[in-house]
Amino acid sequence: MIILKKVNDIKSYLSALTKTVSSIGFVPTMGALHSGHISLITKAKTENDLVVCSIFVNPTQFNDAKDFEKYPVTIEQDIYLLEKAGCSILFLPTVDEMYPNGIENLAHFDLGFIETILDGKYRPGHFQGVCQVVYRLLEIISPHKLYLGQKDFQQCMVLNKMAATTYPTLQIIICPTQREPDGLAMSSRNLRLVPEDRLLAVNIFLTLQFIKNNIKPGDLNNLKQNAIASLTAKGFKVDYVEICNADSLQLLNDWNGKTGIVILVAAFLNGVRLIDNLLIKEKE
């Protein structure tokens, strides 16, 4: 694996390969890699001539300065895992390299409704930051395929919307959420959980499963409110438990029993914010 830190270096390296490489798969990450990230690399490797992974903790997508400062960094281990997975190129830029004109006047993306709900509501500016960094990375790497995790369901929808107008030839591939043996969604932020909270954290997944197993057509408010109350009683500070249309992400208070839906949770344990979701496919 080649490690490149400069925009000009990766651009010239990739442009020299255009005759021999017909498909570049790209996996953007913020590092502290785990098997969830690696599943994206593995998938990209089976579908492309070359796989580029980026590790960049993007300051513009953190609405909370403390969260940014405390974001885990495990670069030696990350390099080891990427080498082992067969990644071709690791792009490891600095903030100045990514944003040479500073971060104050970056482009604003018209994301509409999707930015006003769920993480868009609870993390103001977060999705603008996500779009800014991915837009810049796409401009540098010019991949054919972009690999994203379903774990960040709303982010996938946001990036789909951003890319549809700015990069219409890009294929976006959404990969399933990888979980720990107890069901907790793998996340770099899990590293920040103290042991007691790590044990508690699985309750997010159990709540999603409970809703999936108990959901019925009709009013959804009781199910949502009970889930919030149960997580709160266990020590979580809940941002939301929501049930949404899986295509539009419209929040649902009522379900017709047919529309494909997604259940989404965001909750804190001692300042560590965890998110997860489960899709319910259309019922027969």
Catalytic residues: 37
DSSP structure class, residue 137: H
Report the nearest approach of ligand AMP to the CB of residue 78 (Å): 10
Q: Is there binding between residue 132 and ligand AMP (CB under 6 A)?
A: no
| Cα distance between residue 48 and residue 180, in whole Å | 28
Identify which of residues 153 and 255 has a Cβ nearer to ligand AMP in the complex: 153
Query: Which one of 14, 53, 175, 244 is in contact with ligand AMP (CB under 6 A)?
Result: 175
Q: Is there binding between residue 151 and ligand AMP (CB under 6 A)?
A: yes
Report the half-sphere exposure of 43 (CA within 13 A, side-chain side): 20
Q: How many residues does the chain have?
A: 284
Report the nearest approach of ligand AMP to the CB of residue 90 (Å): 13
Q: Is there binding between residue 88 and ligand AMP (CB under 6 A)?
A: no
Identify which of residues 109 and 255 has a Cβ nearer to ligand AMP in the complex: 109
- How many residues belong to the site for ligand AMP (CB under 6 A)? 17
Residue 18 φ/ψ, nearest 5 degrees: -60, -30
> Cβ contacts of residue 282 below 8 Å, gap of 6+?
258, 259, 260
| Cα distance between residue 32 and residue 75, in whole Å | 7
Query: Residue with structure tokens 């019925």?
Result: 216
Q: Is there binding between residue 204 and ligand AMP (CB under 6 A)?
A: no
Report the nearest approach of ligand AMP to the CB of residue 179 (Å): 7
Identify which of residues 88 and 177 has a Cβ nearer to ligand AMP in the complex: 177
Query: Which one of 128, 188, 203, 207 is in contact with ligand AMP (CB under 6 A)?
Result: 188
Q: Mask: binding to ligand AMP, 19-58, rule CB under 6 A, as x and -?
A: ----------xx-----xx-xx------------------
Query: Residue with structure tokens 């651009």?
Result: 11
Q: Is there binding between residue 177 and ligand AMP (CB under 6 A)?
A: yes
Residue closest to 139 by CA, chosen among 176, 173, 106: 106
Strand order in the sheet with 261-269: 237-245, 261-269, 272-280
DSSP structure class, residue 143: -
Identify which of residues 48 and 178 has a Cβ nearer to ligand AMP in the complex: 178
Burial (CB count within 10 angstroms: exposed 0-12, middle 13-18, buried 19+), residue 151: buried
Which residues contact ligand AMP (rule: CB under 6 A)? Answer: 29-30, 36-37, 39-40, 148-149, 151-152, 175, 177-178, 185-188
